[in-house]
Amino acid sequence: MASQSAWTTVPHDPPPRGGWASRPRYAPSDFVTLLWRERWLMLIVFLVIALAGAGFAFTMKKAYPAQASLLIQLGQEYVYEPRAGDAARGAVPDTSSLVQSEVEILQSAQLRERVIRKIGLAAIYPDLAKDYAPATPAEKALIMAKGVESMGKKLEVGSAPDNPVVRVGFEHDDPAMAAKVVNTLVEEYLIYRRNVLIQPGSMAMERQRVLFEDQLQQADAAYQTFLTTNDIGDFNAQKASLTQLIGQIEAQRSAAEVSLQDRQARLATLDAQLRQIAPEIGLYRDIDPAAATRLAALRLQREEMLSRYRPDSQPVRDVEAQLRQLEGAVGSGRTQTDGARRLGVNPVHQTLQTDRIQTAAEVAALQQSLATYGRQAAAATQQLQRLASIEPEFQALSMDRDVLQSSVRDFTVKERQDQAARQIAAETNDNIRIVDRAVPSTKGKSLRKPVLALALLMGLFSALCAGLIRMFLRPGLPTPASAARTLDLPVLGAARLKAA
């Protein structure tokens, strides 16, 4: 028979929840009491962590910051110069991209290594330098990498958006060393960025130029062979000369044809005139002066007779009668007779004959000129047709030659300009201005207070966690109130645990 419980079970009461093995139920007021019971454990945990954090905080050294400022401006090294053609020539990045590129160079590990090697690893990081001298080459590289990494942790490089000013900062235990590192970093940056942005001249451009020069020599040889084979000095000049010559010949032939027609018409006119004009004409004729002489003699005789005779004398009247008869005959022209006549060449006929001979000669000369012009025009036209037949080959050779000459010239100019730009950029850094150099700082920064505060907070938190864990891991019901809530029974009394 099963044993009966000491408690009376009421039908309407809820059944018990597992007795003493049930999970205790706590109220907020229980935590204060229970944590107070674990005060010594919590105090020990707090003191251990706080003292450890305080010891670590007081071992930390002060770090002295040094800062420098750089003004970044657009330089020739950022202007895009295409290797061939002019596409996008002169394109430049915006200010943000420009500054970000310079920031990346300032943050590069190679630049930090250059600074460490210039100043000396022992001066910046003495602890690392102790193991550097006896180390092997591989170990030295590892130690140097650690130094570069350590410098990267203390190095700060940054800029504001759309602001061309870049600030470089570094922290070190020695303020003078911090300033020296920053200034050395800036100086090495001005040198190192040239190696990054201005690479040595590429041999590809020179090789391409040499290739074009070889091809140009071959094209020149083919061009000269073509001219020599076809007996041509200057194709374009010879073609233009032939075209001009043909034009002149045609113009002269047209003028000769017009002149020939004019001379032929003149010759026909002269022939017609010559047929109408006698070749000979009378030059002069002699006149018989007998009647006039007789008339003068009769008059003289009358005067003589008047000196001897009376005017009405018979001899005088006879002479006067003869004189009147002779004067009447002379007046009527009965006494005129032709004398001797002389004939000669007609000068008009002679002039016309001379003009005809000259015109006939001109006609013959013009006919000969027309024949000559025809032969010259045919020869020039034939030669021009020959040039036209070989012109495609000449144009192809000329085009290849011109293109290669232009390519050689362009690549030579680009090579010279690129070389000049590299030399100028290698000697100057006009687009990078040092606004402010680093100086040793008089105020150091230390993490003692933050570390100490963090250690105290960690100690409090750890102590609280230890107290809570200890509280929850204790067996039994810690307080009467917790027992009443856990068992749903009233607690009538409490007794202290007796020592065994």
**Statement to judge: residues 42 and 70 lie in one domain:** no
* Percent above pLDDT 90 for the chain: 4
Question: In the predicted model, what is the mean pLDDT of residues 479-484?
Answer: 61
Question: In the predicted model, what is the mean pLDDT of residues 407-420?
Answer: 76
The CATH number linked to 367 is 1.10.287
Q: State how far the Cα of 388 lies from the Cα of 232, in Å rounded to an integer.
A: 13
Residue 76 in domain: yes
What is the token pair recorded at 36? 């107070």
Question: Which is more confident, 234 or 148?
Answer: 148
**Statement to judge: residues 182 and 215 lie in one domain:** no
The structural domain count of the chain equals 3
pLDDT in tens, 61-88: 677 788 888 888 776 666 666 655 555 5
pLDDT on residue 311: 78
pLDDT in tens, 264-317: 898 898 888 888 887 777 665 656 667 677 778 877 887 888 777 777 888 778
Residue 178: Cβ within 10 Å count: 26
Separation of first and last alpha carbons in the chain: 34
Boundary of a domain, candidates 173, 197, 221: 197
Residue 7 in domain: no
> Shortest CA distance to 216 belongs to which of 407, 79, 76?
407
Question: Which is more confident, 237 or 411?
Answer: 237
pLDDT in tens, 128-179: 888 887 888 888 889 889 889 988 888 888 888 878 888 998 888 888 888 8
The CATH number linked to 176 is 3.30.1890
Residue 14 has pLDDT above 50, yes or no: no
**Statement to judge: residues 217 and 237 lie in one domain:** yes
**Statement to judge: residues 349 and 414 lie in one domain:** yes
**Statement to judge: residues 91 and 234 lie in one domain:** no
Contact indicator for 356, 274 with CB cutoff of 8 Å: yes
Q: State how far the Cα of 168 lies from the Cα of 181, in Å rounded to an integer.
A: 10
> Shortest CA distance to 447 belongs to which of 67, 61, 152?
61
Residue 492 has pLDDT above 60, yes or no: no
Residue 199 has pLDDT above 80, yes or no: no
Q: State how far the Cα of 296 lies from the Cα of 290, in Å rounded to an integer.
A: 10
Boundary of a domain, candidates 151, 179, 197: 197
- Residue 29's domain spans which residues? 19-59+463-487
**Statement to judge: residues 46 and 90 lie in one domain:** no
pLDDT on residue 15: 44
102: exposed, middle or buried (Cβ count in 10 Å: 0-12, 13-18, 19+)? buried
Boundary of a domain, candidates 197, 214, 235: 197
pLDDT on residue 183: 92
Residue 410 in domain: yes
**Statement to judge: residues 92 and 166 lie in one domain:** yes
CB-based contacts of 184, cutoff 8 Å, min separation 6: 115, 118, 119
Q: State how far the Cα of 446 lies from the Cα of 59, in Å rounded to an integer.
A: 11
Residue 330 in domain: no
Residue 122 in domain: yes
CB-based contacts of 444, cutoff 8 Å, min separation 6: 62, 63, 64, 175
pLDDT on residue 16: 47
Contact indicator for 181, 157 with CB cutoff of 8 Å: no
**Statement to judge: residues 33 and 68 lie in one domain:** no
* Pairing relationship of beta strands 432-436 and 280-287 according to DSSP bridges: unpaired
**Statement to judge: residues 129 and 230 lie in one domain:** no
State the pLDDT confidence band at 5, using cuts at 50, 70 and 90. very low
Residue 21 has pLDDT above 80, yes or no: no
Residue 171 in domain: yes
**Statement to judge: residues 39 and 158 lie in one domain:** no
Residue 108 in domain: yes
Contact indicator for 456, 50 with CB cutoff of 8 Å: yes
Residue 9 in domain: no
**Statement to judge: residues 217 and 160 lie in one domain:** no
**Statement to judge: residues 187 and 76 lie in one domain:** yes
